[in-house]
Each structure stands twice: as C-alpha cells, then as structure tokens.
Amino acid sequence: MVKEFRKFRLTAILRLGILLIGFCSSSSAAAQSVRAVLDKTSIFAGETVVLTIEVDGQVSGESPDVGRLTESFDILNSSSRTQIQLINNQQT
C-alpha cells in the first residue's frame, strides 16, 4: 500500500510538473515571470489540492489552458484576479 501511494504521488507530481512547464513556456513569452504553487506537498488519491498559477507582467487576458490537466485531475473550481499597480500615473 505504501509503495502504491508513493508511486501515485510521484506520478501525479511528475504529470503536473510537465504540464506546468508547458504552460509556463507558452505564457512566458508575454510575461515577465510565471509561478505555480500547490497548497500541499503530498496527497492521497481522491484528495483535493489547490494549484495557484501567478503570471507577472503583461498578459493577453486569456485564462491558462488547463485542458491537459483534466486528463489526470478533476478541476472543481477556477478563478482569476487581476492587479494593476500605478506609481506616478505609470503602470509598473
């Protein structure tokens, strides 16, 4: 049972990492930086994890393409937030 859990965890993390690398490389052309963070370091099969993707810099306003994530994960909810910082009437 422990070996199965470790194998599942490693497989899930590797799949997620590969998908994020693909997302980051396609988004980074327009962005200054892309960061992806999971809210947990390990999970069991069936548990929920929150993936946060942060993109700094100018972006096209499109949501990230998470289509390939749905092959291995169920997406229960998604949200987005935009923050613009102005200093002396100039966007930074």
Confidence of residue 20 (pLDDT cuts 50, 70, 90): low
Could you list the residue range(s) of the whole structural domain that residue 19 is in? 2-91
What end-to-end distance do the CA atoms of the chain give, in Å? 51
Tell me, yes or no, if the pTM score tops 0.75. no
Computed over every residue of the chain, the mean pLDDT equals 69
pLDDT tens digit sequence for 68-82: 777 777 888 888 777
23 pLDDT more than 60: no
For Cα atoms 18, 53, 65, give the angle at the middle one, nearest 5 degrees. 65
Count the domains in the chain. 1
**Cα–Cα distance measured from residue 26 to residue 76, given in angstroms and rounded to the nearest whole number:** 24
